[in-house]
Amino acid sequence: MRITVWNEYVHERHNPAVAEIYPDGIHGAVASLLAGGVTDAKVQTATLEDPEHGLTADVLDNTDVLFWWGHLAHHKVADEVVERVHQRVMQGMGLVVMHSAHLSKIFCRLMGTTCNLRWREADDRELVWTVSPGHPIAAGVAQPIELATHEMYGEYFDIPAPDELVFISSYSGGEVFRSGCCFFRGKGRVFYFSPGHETYPVFADPDIRQVLCNAARWVYQPQTSSIVIDTSPESPTGWFQTD
Ligand code: ZN
């Protein structure tokens, strides 16, 4: 399994408190946990400042699963790159969207909605409840996962109804949130997971690490159907399928 972890890598370079938690960047932390937990994975990283954001056609052609973290710089991601990622998802690449990447161009494009939500940064206690106990992404994780302090993300979360809902979070402030959502788009699988705010060491939590490793395996689809989904602007419908 060839995994690419993409991160805008802005907070870690400008906020010493974040750099202390993630000295190798959030991408470094996520890549490391995946390399340790997904035994057959070959993991590489890419960031905003790399040429073409590190997501060249060659990199994406050699990526089975893409992880995405972004927050401050969604608008700096070039539309051509978003288009390229979108086409790869349509053709079967898996995508795991983490935390504040709910407002990334690629996630909004795939959802077709605003993807807005309510939030509060006030050291809430978050409980991540499994609501789909047979789902592979929930395998082996505590019920609930407890994050002693985290940012609150609450409903209403403006996404289409998930094809599969795996987790719902509750917070000490009383809010709830659909925190683990699966979507099928084209031939690709997309998983959105909300834990992962930059000022908390969320990616060190063993259950969160387990969820991300499970997610990599769930979105990974080595088989490819003969159906080609044509998303080119020249296509009469933009979305028709040909064998
Ligand atoms: Zn956040």
pLDDT tens per residue, range 82-93: 999 999 999 999
The residue type of 228 is V
Q: How far is the CA of 72 from the centre of ligand 1 (A)?
A: 10
Expressed in angstroms and rounded, the spacing between residue 208 Cα and the centre of ligand 1 is 15
Please give the domain boundaries of the chain with CATH numbers for all domains: 2-111+178-242 (3.40.50.880)
pLDDT above 60 (res 236): no
Residues making up the chain, counted from first to last? 243
Measure 164 CA to ligand 1 centroid, in angstroms: 23
- Residues 141-155, mean pLDDT to the nearest whole number: 98
Taking the centre of ligand 1 as the mean of its atom positions, its distance from the CA of residue 196, in whole angstroms, is 7
* Cα 187 to middle of ligand 1, angstroms: 30
pLDDT tens digits along 48-80 = 999 999 999 999 999 999 999 999 999 999 999
151 CA distance to ligand 1 middle (Å): 6
Computed over every residue of the chain, the mean pLDDT equals 95
**pLDDT at position 46 over 80:** yes
pTM of the model as a whole:
0.95
Q: How far is the CA of 22 from the centre of ligand 1 (A)?
A: 14
Residue 241 — pLDDT band, cuts 50, 70, 90?
Answer: low
Contacts of 152 (CB under 8 A, 6+ apart): 118, 119, 120, 121, 122, 124, 126, 171, 173, 175, 177
Q: Which two tokens stand for residue 65?
A: 């699963």
Residue range 180-192: mean pLDDT, rounded: 97
CA dihedral 30, 218, 119, 155 (to 10 degrees): -170
pLDDT tens-digit map of 195-204: 999 999 999 9
pLDDT over 80 (residue 205): yes
* Span of 161-170, 176-185, 187-196, 226-235 with lowest mean pLDDT: 226-235
Give the distance (Å) from ligand 1 centre to CA of residue 12.
13
Separation of alpha carbons 190 and 109, rounded Å: 12
